Amino acid sequence: MTPVALTGWSWRTPLGDDVDAVVRRLAAGDRAAAPLARFPTDGYACRWAAAIGGDPAPSRHQRFLRRMSAFALEVALEAVRAAQPAARDARLGLYFGYGGLRAHWNDMMPALAQQAPDAARAWERGLYLLHPFWMLQHLSNNAHALAATELGARGDGLLLAGANGGAQALAAAARALACRAVDAAVVVAYDTLLEPETLVELATRGASTSRLEVPPPAPYDERSSGFVPGEAAAAVVLERAGDARPRTLAIVEAWDAADGGSAVASGLPAVANVLAWLPAAGSGRPAIGVIDGAALGQPAADGEERRLLGERVELVSPSTPICATLAAMGQLGAASAVVQAIALAAALRAGRLPPIAALERPAPGPLRPLGAAEATEVRAGLALSAGAPGLAGAVRVELP
């Protein structure tokens, strides 16, 4: 994958909106996990969440955008304002990663609760309660289309849906820049795992934590038993490395992979497949000095991730530190890779590696789970995400 320059960023996360302030919170070991208060959770196996505080700013587009889509539009516009790419008025591409369509239960349930089996008097029984733009609000490309309008973007673009959407969007934008289909690219990823049906699905497959203690054990802890679900929206501006040297915040490369029915002898074949794409140090590339882990929070999965990394001796050493943005912010679905890219780049720029939030008893294995923040002169790191079975993403971040 051709390296590209990251020249602007913005996000909405469970730890805040300002990148520098959030990175300080990560270094302090803060964790966003809290009891989910958005709706009653007595009947849910997982009652913990890492939620974005507050709501999107009022906008003339709010008729067409749900909460997370509105955040996505906000961060897209902010990232471009921060970067001021030369291609703003030329070939600006938009690449969106979205977790997928969600049923809007808060809208649907009042409209459906009193319906009759024969659908008689459906309007009077509740359908009148639906917003007239209800179906339009469900469109997965609303934020993408409105961002293109607001930015005057006339370049290439894609909307990529699913739990790996952010990693796919980063990789697609980098390929478009490499082949000169666009001169700059805005990559936006957003997702929430805090919808009722998502929480049920995560609990059914044992992915989310079901423990009630405060706080649940962290990923890479020997007591861990599932992750805390979260939500986020994040955007970065990418340009060709040679075009943006004075404004470059970091150099990034991205890969995405699936298990594809792989015969890899591993419990995480998608992670093994994405690691197989990664180049070794050398040829002007500094060695990877830190891993931002996938942080699935299951001892078997976390151990397998570390084992796979430990086997890549040409990529990392057995003592390479491992941190976990997703332990502090919760699993972020399609937003994970873009959030991790920002967090890792900002941490390297600050010269301070964050600890794994709430880590108390690190599980044994390759790599070195960070229990406390530490100063660093590392110039390159790798972020891994595995938001759904069979999918994985990797982002390599390097200081310019």
185-209 pLDDT, tens digit per residue, is 999 999 999 988 888 889 998 899 9
* Residue 317 amino acid letter: S
When pLDDT is cut at 50, 70 and 90, the band that residue 90 belongs to is low
113 lies in some domain: no
Q: What is the dihedral of CA 270, 292, 68, 75, to 10 degrees?
A: -120
CATH number of the domain within which 189 lies:
3.40.47.10
In a domain, 39, yes or no: yes
H helical segments located in the chain = 19-27, 67-83, 105-112, 134-137, 142-151, 165-178, 196-204, 269-277, 299-311, 325-329, 336-350
In a domain, 82, yes or no: yes
297: pLDDT strictly greater than 90: yes
Q: Would you state the pLDDT for residue 346?
A: 98
In a domain, 110, yes or no: no
Q: Which domain holds residue 309?
A: 4-101+138-398
Q: How many CA atoms does the CB half-sphere of 160 hold within 13 Å?
A: 24
46: β partners? none
| Residue 121 within a domain | no
| Torsion angles phi and psi, residue 184, rounded to 5 | -155, 155
pTM above threshold 0.85: yes
Is residue 129 included in any domain, yes or no?
no
Mean pLDDT over 117-133 rounds to 88
Average pLDDT score over residue span 311-337: 95
**Structural domain includes residue 332:** yes
- Segment 236-289, tens digit of pLDDT: 999 999 887 789 999 999 999 998 765 544 568 899 999 999 988 776 788 999
Q: Which residue has the higher pLDDT, 369 or 161?
A: 369
130 lies in a domain? no
Domain count, the chain: 1
Q: What pLDDT score does 256 carry?
A: 94
pLDDT band (50, 70, 90) for residue 88: low
